[in-house]
Amino acid sequence: MKIIITEEQFKLLQETDNDFNKTKTLVTGMWADGMEIKDIVMFTSLSYEQVLFLLKDSDMEIDCESAEEIIKMIFLHTNLIEKKIHKDDFKLNFSYDNFAGSVQFQYINNGFCLEGMATPYWNGECFTPVDGSYAYYEDGKSYDEYDGLGLRFSNPEYFHSIGELIDWFNSEYRKNLLEKIVILVDDYKYEIHRKY
């Protein structure tokens, strides 16, 4: 398939590319000068999603404390993190509770649902605590106590770009979380069966 564009359309494409590169240079320069993302948003009138996208592949040191803030911004303002996973045998949905400052999850498998929290870099620490808060079967049997198991997993101490952090969340974080969810599911099912 051949696509033919006019000279005017070609010039417009070049201008758009030029504007994009100028904006990216401005935003990465502001970040390099020590400005926070919220300040870049305020001074440029760009959205959080635009700023995070422009900074996504920029080389930067992201420590545990910064990772917590960036994940919050990504959750609240972009679609860069996969928030709904649907496999043959389960569904896993994520949301961000801005009031609690936590990443919430909902795990559904064969008529059983587990809800809980698993906030990466909670309080700027280099781990993710995993807490169940409510579980139920479709038939109405439920258990609504916090699990108290103290489950958690370690997170990387540094990332070199926002893109690297996003990739970690969309792969390693989910894999580690699913391992802990299996433990929580067993615990909640035991409690539900004990209760009924």
**Sign of the C-alpha dihedral computed for residues 108, 110, 113 and 116 taken in this order:** negative
| Burial class for 25, CB neighbours closer than 10 Å (0-12, 13-18, 19+) | exposed
Q: How far apart are CA 181 and CA 177, in angstroms?
A: 6
pLDDT, one tens digit for every residue, the chain (196 residues): 556 646 665 455 455 556 888 888 889 998 989 899 999 999 888 999 999 999 999 999 999 999 999 999 999 999 999 999 999 889 999 999 989 889 999 999 999 999 999 999 999 999 999 999 999 998 888 877 767 789 999 999 999 999 999 999 999 999 999 999 999 999 989 888 887 7
Domain ranges of the chain: 84-195
pTM value is 0.84
Q: Which residues sit opposite 137 in a β-bridge?
A: 112
